[in-house]
Amino acid sequence: MRATNRVVVNTVIQYSRLVISALISLVSVRLILGALGEDDYGLYDVIAGVIGLIGFISSSLSMTSTRFLSISLGKNDEEGTRNAFNSCFWMHLLMAAGLVLVLELVSFYVFDGYLKILPDRLQTAKWIYQCMLVSLFLSISVTPFISMLVSHENFVYVSLVYIVDAVCKLGIAIVITKYSHDRLLLYGILMMLITFLNVLCFVVYCMIKYRRLLRVKVVALRELGGVSGFAGWTMLDALGATLSRQGYAVLLNRFFGTTVNAVFALARQVETPVYTISASIIDSMKPQIMKSYGAGDERKMMRLSLTAGKLGFAMMSILALPLLIMMPEVLDLWLKEYPEGTVLFSRLLLIACMANQLTMGLFYANQAIGDIKWFSIVVSTLRMLSLPVSWCFLRMGYPAYVAIVVFVVCESLGAFSRVLIMSKLSKELRVMDFLKSILLRVLPPFLLGLGVCWALYGFVDSVWDLLWVAAVTVVIYGLAMFFFGLSEDEQNAIKGVFNSFLVKFKLKQSPEE
């Protein structure tokens, strides 16, 4: 299968999984919010924010594992793949243990003065914290196995596991609504058990499917040092992404308490499916990007990287366009009652997510090249500026939404700085090429879709109106993006995949005829 066609197939698989998971998640969040209430829901989110402040390391380790495994697979080097897996396994295991130890020590400060938690909920908060630590350890430890699946582009199995994960979380939401005692504590314990189930699914499958490539032995310090050194610089970029999201949970709690935490948590529940779609679509293209560089084809690597940003933005916009315009009605339908400010927070987070998506493919191109020092420093610094700048505004008495506006600005600056840096690192990318082939291609269809949705918004008066307005917007935007946003090669790839599906369908139908 051609690389571009494979990218389209993987994107369709990932997108389908994420839409299913997002729909299930919407129902789950509504049930959980009703069962826990605003304060307990906000409390859970702020504890997750504390974990996430250091848990960003797991994200960088994941990218490192996928990079080394994909490069070795691109070279068709099985021994190199086994060595890469072994080094990544030990790096993840040691880092997971170290992180849990650090977070245990941090907990004494966090719960004894920093966070604003009601005294009668303090003990429950501490138990939730311990459950999250177990989940964090398991999630980091299993990362090399997930990276092995991603490097082999086995997105079907990964998608199935995450769909089961979403269904189980819906089951948890239903269970806690029937529970009459401490619902928050039960919720934390059950979420930990779901993480254990996911780990089991990934490890057992990899042990069966990729046994010849899985090798765990005593690792040489030189090999571990090479992988860890690369991961160290990657952590900076992951830190920027984490602080720009998880850090806000702690910052808002410090100034406004758990009520505004609930607003931010709900806004992130709106943003997270859209953000996850963009990230997962890039994940579906990441192996091809890195394998292309491993095979010595830098031009193909850069072309796929730019296509990744464009396709990710396009697929993400299909969900974001109706949400940006019809957010109040969607939240009314979804939650019925929600804290004031949720609409504005949700819209701002979506805008930031879309700006970041356009250049996300260049991040993986940089990972493939391996010259990541200045890329990580510049991008992460711009993104992390959002927290101190927001702190200054909040300290001066500005309302909470100003902090989210700062977040949008810093995310956009960080995203577009990737273009400038990569143009210096690779002769295959020029700033004007990015503007012409990406930015000027995707913005007109997006603005057209936004205008159409805004024009039809005045006719919305019921649930059915929401559906037909969203459908018309998506169709018009999709057609405009296909004919004007995509290149001829990208259009042909989509047509080729669609035609192959039709052929397979006809072959299945022919015996009956």
Percent of all residues in the chain with a pLDDT value above 90, rounded to a whole number: 9
274 contacts: CB under 8 Å, gap ≥ 6: 316, 319, 320, 323, 350, 353
Q: Give the mean pLDDT of 174-191.
A: 84
Specify the DSSP class assigned to residue 115: S
Q: Give the mean pLDDT of 465-471.
A: 88
Q: How far apart are alpha carbons 265 and 197 in whole angstroms?
A: 25
What the block records as the tokens of 80 is: 């190199």
**Sorting pLDDT into bands at 50, 70 and 90, what band is 489?**
confident
**Sorting pLDDT into bands at 50, 70 and 90, what band is 211?**
confident
Q: Give the mean pLDDT of 271-285.
A: 71
Q: Write the pLDDT tens digit of every residue in 127-146.
A: 888 888 888 888 888 888 98
Is the pLDDT at 199 greater than 60, yes or no? yes
Q: Write the pLDDT tens digit of every residue in 106-130.
A: 777 767 666 667 677 778 888 888 8
Percent of all residues in the chain with a pLDDT value above 70, rounded to a whole number: 80
Is the pLDDT at 513 greater than 50, yes or no? no
Domain residue spans in the chain? 3-500
The amino acid occupying position 326 is M
Q: How far apart are alpha carbons 223 and 232 in whole angstroms?
A: 14
Q: How far apart are alpha carbons 42 and 26 in whole angstroms?
A: 17
Is the pLDDT at 370 greater than 90, yes or no? no
Q: How far apart are alpha carbons 188 and 135 in whole angstroms?
A: 10
**Sorting pLDDT into bands at 50, 70 and 90, what band is 475?**
very high
What the block records as the tokens of 98 is: 């170290």
Is the pLDDT at 371 greater than 70, yes or no? yes
Q: Which of 10-14, 140-144, 261-265, 423-427 has the lowest mean pLDDT?
A: 10-14
334 contacts: CB under 8 Å, gap ≥ 6: 26, 29, 30
End-to-end CA distance of the chain: 29
The amino acid occupying position 61 is L
Q: How far apart are alpha carbons 242 and 49 in whole angstroms?
A: 9
- Please check whether residue 72 is in contact with residue 204, taking contact to mean a CB–CB distance below 8 angstroms: no
Residue 396 has phi, psi (to 5 degrees) of -80, 0
**Helix boundaries (H) for 257-399:** 258-294, 298-335, 342-357, 360-369, 373-384, 386-395
Full DSSP string of 306-331 = HHHHHHHHHHHHHHHHHHHHHHHHHH
Q: Give the mean pLDDT of 293-315.
A: 83
Query: Mean pLDDT, the chain, as a whole number?
Result: 80
- Residue where the block lists tokens 């939401």: 173
Residue 364's pLDDT is: 81
Is the pLDDT at 429 greater than 80, yes or no? yes
Q: How far apart are alpha carbons 88 and 97 in whole angstroms?
A: 14
Q: How far apart are alpha carbons 374 and 236 in whole angstroms?
A: 10
Residue 219's pLDDT is: 62
Give the H or E element holding residue 220: none
Q: Write the pLDDT tens digit of every residue in 218-245.
A: 665 566 666 666 666 676 666 666 666 6
What the block records as the tokens of 233 is: 């610089």
More confident residue, 2 or 372: 372
Q: Give the mean pLDDT of 321-334.
A: 87
Q: How far apart are alpha carbons 162 and 170 in whole angstroms?
A: 12
Full DSSP string of 161-218 = HHHHHHHHHHHHHHHHHH--S-HHHHHHHHHHHHHHHHHHHHHHHHHHHSGGG----P
**Helix boundaries (H) for 210-244:** 221-243
> How far from 448 is each of 201, 310, 435, 445, CA to CA, in Å?
43, 16, 19, 5
Is the pLDDT at 512 greater than 70, yes or no? no
**Sorting pLDDT into bands at 50, 70 and 90, what band is 473?**
very high
**Sorting pLDDT into bands at 50, 70 and 90, what band is 296?**
confident
Q: Give the mean pLDDT of 89-118.
A: 78
Our CA dihedral for 195, 200, 201, 207, rounded to 10 degrees, sits at 150
Residue 337's pLDDT is: 77
- Most confident of the following: 21-25, 51-55, 421-425, 498-502: 421-425
Specify the DSSP class assigned to residue 372: -
Is the pLDDT at 201 greater than 90, yes or no? yes
431 contacts: CB under 8 Å, gap ≥ 6: 419, 420, 423
The C-alpha angle 24, 475, 1, rounded to 5 degrees, equals: 75
**Sorting pLDDT into bands at 50, 70 and 90, what band is 499?**
low
Q: Which of 26-40, 90-104, 218-232 has the lowest mean pLDDT?
A: 218-232
Full DSSP string of 31-53 = HHHHHHHHHHHHHHHHHHHHHHH
